[in-house]
Amino acid sequence: MRTFRIEVAAAWLIIGGTFLCGQASASPRTYETKHHTINVEEMAGGLNHPWSLAFLPGGDMLVTERRGRLYRIDAQSFRKQEVAGVPDVAHGGQGGLLDIVVDPEFSANRTVYFSYSEPGSGGRKGTAVAAARFDAGPNGPVLRKLKVIFRQAPKTATSQHFGSRIVVADDGTLFITLGERGRSEQAQDLGTHLGKVVRINKDGSIPPDNPFRSVKGALPAIYSYGHRNPQGAALDPQTGLLWTLSHGARGGDEINQPKPGKNYGWPVISHGRHYSGEKIGVGTSAPDMEQPVHYWDPSIAPSGLAFYSGNLFSKWKGNLFVGALKDQLISRLELSGGRVVGEERLLTGKYGRIRDIRQGPDGAIWFLTDRARGGLYRIVPAPG
């Protein structure tokens, strides 16, 4: 029989722009899983709809809030400081300040990349990606030398399906996942960025080997297309290949391995149905359209994707971890030969909507909960 103690809410004090947090939880909660007994502990609370987590060298963390705030969280005290220099964001619906990643050469260049819904004219907005220098600063952390390196075209007045995960590839290019903004048919149109995975260089230029660079009428940044709303992306540490996950409608959440120039089908094919219950497109398959590596029906509303390569959980090495919003769980997927061969659902209904999941530098698994008083949580092996 599993037992745990109830967590105690954190108390917050604000001093000189630094948020000081008392102990976030009185004790970790302990759970049995198929292979490991785990402890789950809230490390920082009071986060307003946090969206993304990234680790700096040394273990400090960067956390975005959808409303447009960025925090550095100290790895030892778990105090959080707001980072200055964040641009204005179009906060509303699913839009706001979204993903953040740290350049692999951060120690030399101090560069971070982040995505956000950028305001436009007439209430329009679109996913943008900026690069900036992260400095500690004498008065607190700040983003400097900010440069927008990508803008989704066109901007739209809709407030959903921004996609918006960023991955730094092994060759130094950036993959960016983009939702179709509720305009399903645009996912098949190579003249827009809607419903695409794009690939750019770190300065925003287009790699010479992008698949549509020389195709008339196609936007040269496009890498793959036919995606609905991809809110998870990660590189397989063994192969260096990109994996993404995307929201379906009523069922049909997908994990894909996007390949250059390939079409992933939305809205022509899907393993789900419209919210009305009506059939989507022509069914589940069509010529020249790719099948997902894995799909969920009914939908779990996945967000956040991470491969596990650490040493704390020996039996989870090589597994894929997915956060879920609607079903409020973490899906642990076992892989073999690039295919999903098993699933275990963890923490179902225990912590609410899970927006992001990452492996920490020490091999712990970290996740963010998407709510008005969301939290940063850590999963470690239970003692004994």
3-state SS assignment for residue 180: coil
* Catalytic pick among 161, 193, 227, 294: 161
The C-alpha atoms of residue 70 and residue 38 are separated, in whole angstroms, by 29
Q: How big is the CA angle at 237 (ends 165 and 308), to the nearest 5 degrees?
A: 80
Report whether 377 contacts 28 (CB < 8 A).
no
Q: Which amino acid is at 25?
A: S
Q: Examine the residue annotation and report whether 161 is marked as an active-site residue of this protein.
A: yes
The C-alpha atoms of residue 272 and residue 251 are separated, in whole angstroms, by 4
Give me 7's structure tokens.
């967590």
Q: Which residues contact 193 (CB under 8 A, 6 or more apart)?
A: 127, 152, 153, 178, 219, 221, 222
The C-alpha atoms of residue 189 and residue 107 are separated, in whole angstroms, by 40
Report whether 97 contacts 65 (CB < 8 A).
yes
- Residue environment code for 117-143, b if the CB has 16+ CB neighbours within 10 A, otherwise e: bbbbeeeebbbbbbbbebbeeeeebbb
Give me 191's structure tokens.
């003249």
Active site residues: 161
